[in-house]
Structure formats: C-alpha cells, structure tokens
Structure 1
C-alpha cells in the first residue's frame, strides 16, 4: 500500500489536474520529488481511473471527452464544406501546402482534389484518402506514430520529416480558439506538430467551424505569431470574432448557406 504521504501527493495531483496544472516538471517541483516519481504517480492514477494521461502530464477524467475523427465527420458538415471551399481559393497552381489533421481540413482536401500542379504535405490519413486519386496533386506523407483519435501521424519521426520541407501555406485544424487567439488541442504532441508546421509555412490559416470559436475544451495550447487567419462560419459568436480581430488576427467568416455556389465571406479590416 502507498504511504500516507504518497497518497496525499496523488490526491493533490488529481486536484491540480482539474486546475490544468498537472505537468510533470511542475508537479515534480511542487512536491520536491523526481520526474520519474511523478510519472509513476500519473501511471497509477490513470490505472485507477482518476485522471487521463496526456503528453507530458495529465487532465481530469471529466474535463472533456475527445471525439474520434469519425464521430466529428458529420458535425457542422455544411459549414466545414464551405470553409474548405473558401480555403481552397487561397491555394494557387504551383503551390506547396501543409495540411493538418481534422475533419475541416479534410473538407479542404476534398475541395483540392481537382487541382493541378499542387504539392500537398500532410500527416493526415484523411487528406491522403481524399487526394489518393487526384492526378494533378503530388502528395508527400509525413510518417510517424499513428494517433487513432485524429487519424494522423505525430512524434519524433513526423517532426524530423517536417524539418526538411517548407510550404507556401499551412492549413491547421483545432479543438478550440480562445479570445486571446490561442489554439487548443487535446494532446501536447499535436500542439508541437502544429507549431512546427507554422514555422515551415509563409501563410497560416486555421480552419474552425463556429462552435470552436471561444471554446476551451482541453489543456494543451499554443499561440501563433501574427499575422495569421481564422476561417470560420456564420455560427461563430460575433463577440468572440470581434475579440480576435481586436488582437490583430484576421477572421474570415464564410456564409455556409451558399451551398454549392462559391461561399460569400466577411473579412476583418486590418
């Protein structure tokens, strides 16, 4: 049985996970123990069902349940199609683009299937599937460890491959965007990969349907250096869009009611 001190520390770790402070290094410093002791605590707490492990730390079990990519495919479908169609207009013949994981980025890949003279670099199985028969598109795949929830690759092998390429533009997915312009993800490995993608591209777009604007479902974050663009739809809360524009982020609002026609947009004035 664990000692009273050990059980007290583990209970405190569960409490800190609810506050978003369950990072291995932070916990080791707080409790004056080694990182390996904290990792052992986290492993035991995960086995007991008291927390859920993340890359480098933990989150509370009840914080938010991450949906699989398959579950997300039908959510806000018309909005995602419209966002993907608008994003495709930002890609020119001869471009090299980085495409992230996610259902909205998958909609962009579908919109690019008829392109010519385009190179797509991706770690997403969804993107590969959408473009597998696209004769005018060269698809470069970033290998690595498959993350089944997102149907994408990540980890050291993916990052090493990414360091050897550059792109005219990157199109990212996200689990949420704060009013401060921070990008939220369920996994720190995904955060790391997105940061590297941003560094390798000249232009940055984040594709997020309206429900993700202002959402903060998880505890892994990063901030994109200005300038960059959010592409969303008309369900995005106007006050959230205004807050982002006030911070210098360009926001494109796509009118998804246009159906198969070219979607109309409302853009920020810089």
Structure 2
C-alpha cells in the first residue's frame, strides 16, 4: 500500500475510533512498527492526528465521535464486555445505568435477569428495559439530548443524588494512561460523578480504543472504579495504576 493511502486510512480510523494503537496499525497494514511510528509522527506534524504513547488520538479533545458512528463501533467487543459485567449482577439488584453505547449493551444483556430496579438517564436504556414486566425502570428528569437520548442537567443531577444503589454502570469516552477518566460533556460528567458517589460498586466497561483516548473533561480517577471490564490488556502505564488500587479487571 502506498504511504499516502495508508496515511488517509490511519486518519479515517482515528476519526472513527477516537484512538488507535500502534500495534493494531502494524497488524492492519502488515508493516513494521518503525514504519507506523514514522507515519504517525508525520501525521502529527501536519496536525492531522495527535501522537500518543503507543498510538494516536483525534487532534481535538473537545468533540466526540458522533453517536451514530459510536453505536456501530466495536459491537462484538461491547456485547462480550456487557455479558461479563451482568454476570456479576444478581437478580433483585438495584443499579444506575449511564449514557453511552456500552451501557446500552449492558441493558440488552440484562434482559435475562429478574426483578431488577434501574435508575437511568438514558432514554435508549429505558426503552430496552421496559420490555421486562418484572423490571422497575426509573427515568431521570432533565434535558434530553437529541443526538443520543441522554438526559443531563441540574435536574438530572439532583434526581440521581436521591438514590443509593448496588451498582453503577458507567460509560466513558477515554481513560488517560495516568488513570484519569475523561469525557467531552461537562454536564454529563457531573451526572457520572453522582453515579460514582451513590453506587456501592462502580462497574466500567470499555473496549481497548478508549485506552489513551483524549477528551477535555476530567471526571475522576480509575481508583474510583471497583470493576473494569475490557477486551484487551491495558497499556503498561495504566495497568500499573490499576494494580496499585487492586481494581478487579476482567479481560474478555
């Protein structure tokens, strides 16, 4: 493959996924790591990507990939992660389910459970779960975002803060290698923080494209997560942080 075509495909992958690793690119293009590193350095110099340890991210940290694109990305990985997460949730449990495509996968995976009580600020999750007669679904009030069915705002924050539930199912845009939990929307982040504070067990499901991915709002630290579920081993720097806090990790 010509370098110019490979460069364009790398740019397209970064725009679609938000983060791509050097190892994934080496395997995809069947070239040496040195070639990929040179490609990434050249693209970063032209401000077409942002170079990152072990890979590359989108040059902007202020704009997320569109919901319609994220909805079809890493589908099998998200479904597998969701199945692993719900295996830890017993019948009769209470839980928060957050905004995001992975939390929506968790909602679908929960349909084989019984007698759950769910609080959510995600219209898509509510729609999935109301199909079960023995589920009680409580939908937060607030401003509905047309782009993804998320509900955010001060009213949402106040509503979430009324509860103390067994599990909090989080979605997230990125995890920095220092363990920072990152997202794009300040209002959404405040709701996520409330879910963390009011859950007895915080569960985070992320596919590998979220490791090292850049986003502008810091919502917390990986130390606040009790259980992490992913499809690939985290980068070494992040793995060390997880080990420091004895976080339960499942690689699916």
TM-score of the pair, normalised by structure 1 = 0.66
What is the aligned partner in structure 1 of residue 136 from structure 2? 138
SS at match of 1:133: coil
Distance 2:76 2:241 in 1: 24
Match of 1:191 in 2: 189
Question: How far does residue 198 in structure 1 lie from its aligned partner after superposition?
Answer: 0.8
- RMSD value over aligned CA atoms? 1.9
Could you tell me which of 84, 87, 90 is aligned with 2:88? 90
Q: Which residue of 1 aligns with 2:124?
A: 126
Larger mean CA deviation between 80-89 and 148-157 belongs to 148-157
Distance 2:61 2:93 in 1: 40
Alpha-carbon distance in structure 1 between the residues aligned to 2:225 and 2:144: 31
Change (3 A) 1:188 1:227: closer
Shift of 1:254: 3.1
Kept in 2, the 8 Å contact 1:214–1:240? The answer is no
Alpha-carbon distance between aligned partners in 1 of 2:144 and 2:173, rounded to the nearest angstrom: 18
Q: Is 2:245 the counterpart of 1:248?
A: yes
Alignment of 1:160-239 (within 5 A): 160-216=158-214, 218-224=215-221, 225-226=223-224, 228-234=226-232, 236-239=233-236
Cα shift readout 1:190-218 (whole Å, capped 9, x = no counterpart): 111111111111001111111101212x2
Structure 2 gaps, min length 5? 1-58
CA offset digits 1:141-197 (Å, max 9, x no partner): 001011233421011111121121111010100000112221111111111111111
Give yes or no for contact 1:207–1:231 (8 Å, CA) kept in 2.
Answer: yes
Instruction: Give the structure with higher Rg (CA).
Output: 1
In the TM superposition, 1:139-154 aligns within 5 A as: 139-154=137-152
SS of the residue aligned with 1:140?
strand
More helix by share: 2
Q: CA deviation at 1:132?
A: 2.1
Aligned to 1:81: 79
Cα offsets for 1:95-128 (capped at 9, x unmatched): 1000001111101000001211111110001211
Correspondence for 1:66 among 64, 67, 86: 64
Runs of 4+ in structure 1 over 6 Å off:
none
Give 1:117's aligned residue: 115
- Length-normalised TM-score, structure 2: 0.71
Query: Hey, what's the Cα distance between the residues in 2 that align with 1:249 and 1:73?
Result: 31
SS at match of 2:167: strand
